[in-house]
């Protein structure tokens, strides 16, 4: 069984939350690496919450940085929609 690595983040209240990476990618347009992840919590509609951050590789491993531009969010949303469409086609 292929178990995904998990990582901890601090939420906006300073509480540690375990997260699971869904996928990573590098944008040719921004030249940055991104990670899309979940804490497996549900929103009010019952959907699993998904988050995204810039993933900056450092000597000590990596750090998550906030996405600040609308352009970057559009790139990420396009990638997520593409993956969802592909998943729906294959029935995964």
- The pTM score is 0.83
Residue 22 lies in a domain: yes
State what percent of residues in the chain have pLDDT above 70. 93
Residue 44's pLDDT band, with cuts at 50, 70 and 90, is very high
Do residues 26 and 32 make contact, with C-beta atoms less than 8 angstroms apart?
Answer: yes
7 CB-contact burial (10 Å; exposed 0-12 / middle 13-18 / buried 19+): middle
Residue 24 lies in a domain: yes
- Bridge partners, residue 72, by sequence: none
Residue 2 lies in a domain: no
Residue 47 lies in a domain: yes
- Bridge partners, residue 25, by sequence: 34
Q: Which pLDDT value is given to residue 89? A: 83
Is pLDDT above 60 for 14?
A: yes
**What's the total number of domains in the chain?**
1
Residue 1 lies in a domain: no
Cβ partners under 8 Å of residue 16, min gap 6? 8, 9, 10
| Tokens linked to 6 | 């998990």
Q: Which domain holds residue 55?
A: 7-90
State what percent of residues in the chain have pLDDT above 90. 71
Residue 78 lies in a domain: yes
Residue 14 lies in a domain: yes
């Amino acid at each position: 069984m292929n178990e995904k690595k998990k990582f901890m983040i601090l939420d906006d209240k300073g509480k540690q939350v375990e997260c699971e990476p869904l996928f990573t990618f590098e944008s040719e347009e921004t030249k940055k690496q991104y990670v899309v992840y979940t804490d497996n919590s549900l929103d009010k509609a019952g959907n699993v919450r998904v988050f995204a951050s810039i993933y900056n590789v450092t000597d000590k491993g990596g750090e998550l940085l906030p996405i600040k531009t609308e352009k970057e969010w559009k790139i990420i949303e396009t990638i997520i929609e593409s993956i969802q469409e592909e998943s729906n086609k294959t029935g995964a």
